[in-house]
Amino acid sequence: MKNTSIILFIITTLILANSASAQTIEDSKYEITCLENAGITIKSQEYIDDNSAHQKTTVSAKRLSDNTTFDVPGIWSDRYFTSEELLFNESGAYNITINMHSEHETEQSVNCPGLIFSCKVFSLSISSCYRYEDALHISFETVNAFENLDLKNNLTYSMTNDRAHTIEVSQKKNNQLLDVIETFNIGEEKYKIIWPVSEKIETFYIRAPVCRAYASAKCIEPPGCKNDDECQDSQYCDTYCRELNCKNDEQVHNHRCVSCILDRECDDSLICTQDTCTNNRCIHNSVVCEAQDACTTARCEEPQGCVYVVDEDCKKSKENTANPGTEEPQDPDSKSNMSYIGAALLLLILALILKPKNKPETKQEKKSSTKAKKNKTPRKKK
């Protein structure tokens, strides 16, 4: 009966715990979402009137990595709140506090990816546009672009010819012209386009529709030159300053395409390689682990690094060779008893050696002995 009561108590406790957990989830009044622009949106289960000065609903946040707190400005519209951009720039966990009318305060946690893209800090600029061998060569740069900027899908292009006619190219308009262009990433947020165009183009435009950002440049004949120093860093001198056509895994440095400039650019995230930039090429030499002695084998393994394995049989053999007279340790009492026995045997041998021997007397010795005894016999008085 006692065991039955205990079982019923445990079951009841688990049911109440599950009910409490479910109630907590149902009581959550807000759905918080982190955005790529380092802002957040909040969806409330009930309507929020934020127009009255006496009924403000405020939002604040605390970054858990360093406990930094800050206000989260934004706009409430019906049940939805949209914050300003560039507030949650660092990836990690945040506690969001929602204070409704200064009466009801709710705190919820959310994980944000950090800043990925924001129109507030995004910009475009075209560094050069010129015609060479029946093709346009356009070099341009971005600032705080998309994490993986797609030159054919995220941007649109326009070209104005010498008759003031504009040709627009995008995924929605004249998209067949996108198939013939070549695109290159020539450095950090630096790009190049080679576009076969038969017409004489005077002006080239690049736009990012999502941000309404754009850049334009006049397309001119390539400037003449005598050496590379007279050209831009992304160009080389060949009578005219020509644009470099670097591969996607290369970058521009001193008028040539290179794989790297600094050692850190060659990091392959492996422990067992030593990554260096040698002559602007990445070299990944294997890390050599040195063994401490002949009985130890050393090798490098991912992800822990150098691993050392000791051969115990080899180690014992080495120790015996270095100390040939050594024996297995004996019990101290046994060693003491052996010492006593050895000492006793030694004394016995000495005693036997030093004991005089009884030789048999000769006839002459017997006569001399008898005569000496007679002479020593006292005479009787008369």
Give residue 242's Cα distance to chain centre.
39
Q: For the domain covering 123-258, report its CATH number.
A: 2.60.40.10
* Residue 69 φ then ψ, to 5°: -110, 150
Q: How many CB atoms lie within 10 A of CB 36?
A: 15
Is-above-0.85 flag for pTM? no
228 and 213 in contact (C-beta within 8 Å)? no
Query: Judging by DSSP bridges, how do beta strands 240-243 and 251-253 pair with one another?
Result: unpaired
Amino acid 187: pLDDT: 74
- For the stretch 344-376, pLDDT in tens is 787 888 777 776 655 555 556 555 655 555 555
- For the stretch 230-278, pLDDT in tens is 888 878 888 888 778 787 778 888 888 898 989 988 999 999 999 999 9
* Most confident of the following: 26-40, 288-302, 313-327: 288-302
The amino acid present at 33, given as its one-letter code, is: T
Amino acid 110: pLDDT: 95
Decide whether 26-112 matches 123-258 in CATH topology.
yes
DSSP one-letter string for 237-263: EESEEEEP---TT-EEETTEEES-SSG
Percent of the chain with pLDDT over 70: 78
Average pLDDT over the chain reads 80
Instruction: Classify 26-112 by CATH class.
Output: mainly beta
User: How far apart are alpha carbons 296 and 201 in whole angstroms?
Assistant: 71
- For the stretch 292-320, pLDDT in tens is 888 899 999 998 899 999 888 888 887 77
User: In a 3-state reduction of DSSP, which class is residue 371?
Assistant: helix
Contacts of 269-273 with CB under 8 Å at 24 or more apart are: 270/302, 271/300, 271/302, 271/303, 271/304, 271/305, 272/300, 272/301, 272/302, 272/305
Write down the domain spans for the chain. Answer: 26-112, 123-258, 263-318
For residue 291 the two structure tokens come to 């063994």
